[in-house]
Structures are given as C-alpha cells and as structure tokens.
Amino acid sequence: MNYNIAVVPGDGIGPEVVSETIGVLDKVGEKFGHTFTYQYVLAGGAAIDETGRCLPDETVEICKNSDAVLLGAVGGPKWDSLPGDERPERALLGLRKALGLFANLRPAMVFDELADASPLKPEIIEGGLDIAVVRELTGGIYFGKKGTVASTDLGPAAYDVEQYAEEEVRRIAKVAFDMAMKRNRKVTSVDKANVLESSRLWRRVVAEVAKDYPEVELENFYVDNAAMQLVRNPKQFDVIVTSNIFGDILSDEASQITGSIGMLPSASLAKGNFGMYEPVHGSAPDIAGRDLANPIATILSAAMMLRYTFGLGEEADAVESAVKRFLSEGYRTPDIAAGKASVGTKEAGRLIADMI
C-alpha cells in the first residue's frame, strides 16, 4: 500500500523530531512492505517567514488531499509580538477547523523505566498510570463568537463565547466511549455544570450517549475537582472527555504528572479515519537545532497514525515496542536522562529505527 502523508515540520525542534520520525516510518515501510510518500508543507512561524501568512491555502489544500498529517511543532519567540490572529499558533487552530479534527486524543502514560520522573509521590503513581484525555477540538470558546466592547461601566471590554451544539457533544462523547470499550471501561466527563449552561447541555448529552454503552461506567466531575483529583489520585481515571478549553488545561496537567512530556503523542481525528498527529510538547526554541530534542513523542504520534488512520496495528505495535526497547536498554535523551549519559536526537531516531 502507498500512503500519502502531509508533513508540517514547523518551528523550533519540530523539523528535527519530524526528521527522525520519517526515518522510523521509512523503516516500517521497508519491513512491512508499505510506501510512505511525504509532502512537506509550511505552517506556523516558518510559513510566516516564507509567505507572510501562518497558514497558506496551499498547506490546507495539500493536507486535505493527504491520507494523514504529521506535524512537529509551531511557534517561537521570534513571532511572539505578532497580533493574535497572525501568530503561528493560529495555524494549528486553522488546520483543526479546516480539516474537521474534532476529536483530540492525548494519552498520558508513565513508562515503567521513567517512573522516577513523575513529580508525584511514588505511592500515587505506583503500578503505572494510563489516562486517555479526549478533548473536543473544533468548538467551544476557541471558536465561539468573540469581540470587543468599546465601553462599559468598567471600561473597554472583550468577550469570547462558549457554545456547544448537541451534535458536537454527541460525537466527541462517542469517541470517548468507544475508546473506553477498548480500555478499562470508564469515562469521566468533565464540565462546569454547576455554573455554565453549555456544561449542563454537555452533561445531558453525554448521559444520553452513555445509554448505548451499558458496560462503561460514566462519572461526571466539575473541572476544578478534576484538576485536583488528577494530582491527588490519577489512577482513578481511564478516559476523560471534556470541552476544548478544559481539555487544553487538563491535558497539560495530565502530561506533566507523567514527568516525561517529551514522550507523549497526540492524535486529532476527523470523521472517518483522517487525522493529524503531533507531539504534545511544543517547539522548545531554547534547545532547537542542537540535537538535544527527544523525538519519541513524535515517533509515538506516528505510531498512532499507523494505528488509527491506516489501520496498521501490527506496524504501530512494532514502533511502540522499539521505543520500549530503546528505554529498557538504558538509552535516554537529555530531557529524560536525569543528568546521566544521553544520546542526541539523531542517534535516538537511528537507534529506534534500527530496533524495528
């Protein structure tokens, strides 16, 4: 089979981690008899520098016509002073919306070898941690009506509206319940239904969807409590489903408690099998271009691409096993080396590709 992948290396460490991931994908192709064809496109700061716009139309077109998108990271201090809608981060929001990527999967797991890296006490994460955050990605306050009011009693004001339609909640809830069926059969829906009307609709629709999944336990948490429970007792969670903004916040928290954000992949899925895959970490401009970045999050994102978009479970397993082997043989990149000996980005990529 031939698979067409649109590749957005992006900014900062993006191009370095993407390049190692391509090496791993090529190795998978070689071993399993697939061809991956890459089309490189611009987005974020790199696109601003080259074309003056953070998300050129051509990029959107090529992504739409591809089988899947692989993205490194966007943004950096160089573009920080640009106005809100011209910043590199806008490219991400634009891609999500244009490609209909409404479901964002952000698994937060602790790798046995790296359990020490968690900032939580050992007894709290003992026995491992494996949470799937399912974040709604194309609705809510990120994309609601926004504007400014020239004058109010308290001076000029600005607003952003949180609005969810039933169907938006229903489709993300289904993703979460389907995922729970393949895992530990528990969904925690997170909202602020004690205050927000949109959350009351959210909670009602999630409960309706739950009726189709009698084997899955549904629990509803207010977002403040969820944030607290994540550090108090994270092992109680299996799948967390929540709105765009709550998911933005809680997925960062969930990734931080694993202690190794450089390891965590993500998938943003549309209806059908199409998806965009990217590491959870950002562009890390401070270490860009120095062969210090950890490519594992991007490599594991490619494994998610193999599994979810291409339906290549065995190939995805092979990539994940290679990463596990890399760790169990004692290899570390600087971010997870705790000051001990480490290998660079390129060496890590080469080793993992070799272990496939």
Contact positions vs ligand IPM (CB under 6 A): 89, 92-93, 248
Q: Which amino acid is at 277?
A: Y
Out of ligand IPM, Mg ion, none, which partner does residue 253 contact, by CB within 5 to 8 A per kind?
A: none
- Output 5 or 71, the one with its CB closest to Mg ion: 71
Out of Mg ion, ligand IPM, none, which partner does residue 238 contact, by CB within 5 to 8 A per kind?
A: none
Cα 218 from Cα 163, distance rounded (Å): 23
Cα 90 from Cα 55, distance rounded (Å): 8
Burial of 163 (0-12, 13-18, 19+ CB in 10 A): middle
Do residues 276 and 99 make contact, with C-beta atoms less than 8 angstroms apart? yes
Residue 67 binding Mg ion, by CB under 5 A: no
- Min separation Cβ 129 and ligand IPM, Å: 20
Backbone CA torsion sign across 166, 167, 169, 173: positive
Out of ligand IPM, Mg ion, none, which partner does residue 136 contact, by CB within 5 to 8 A per kind?
A: none
Which positions from 90 to 129 touch Mg ion by CB under 5 A, shown as an x/- string?
----------------------------------------
- Min separation Cβ 55 and Mg ion, Å: 18
Do residues 7 and 38 make contact, with C-beta atoms less than 8 angstroms apart? yes
- Min separation Cβ 239 and ligand IPM, Å: 18
Instruction: Give the residue closest to ligand IPM by C-beta.
Output: 89
Q: Which of 4, 83, 78 is nearest to 283 (CA)?
A: 78
- Output 11 or 248, the one with its CB closest to Mg ion: 248
Per the listing, tokens 């291409």 go with: 310
- Output 13 or 355, the one with its CB closest to Mg ion: 13
Going through the chain in order, the beta strands assigned E by DSSP cover 2-10, 35-40, 68-73, 103-109, 130-136, 146-149, 157-160, 186-191, 217-222, 239-242, 265-269, 275-279
Cα 108 from Cα 78, distance rounded (Å): 30
- Output 53 or 350, the one with its CB closest to ligand IPM: 53
Residue 248 binding Mg ion, by CB under 5 A: yes
- Min separation Cβ 32 and ligand IPM, Å: 31
**Catalytic center residues:** 142, 192, 224, 248, 252
Q: Which amino acid is at 166?
A: E
- Min separation Cβ 92 and ligand IPM, Å: 5
Residues of this chain that interact with Mg ion (CB under 5 A) are 248
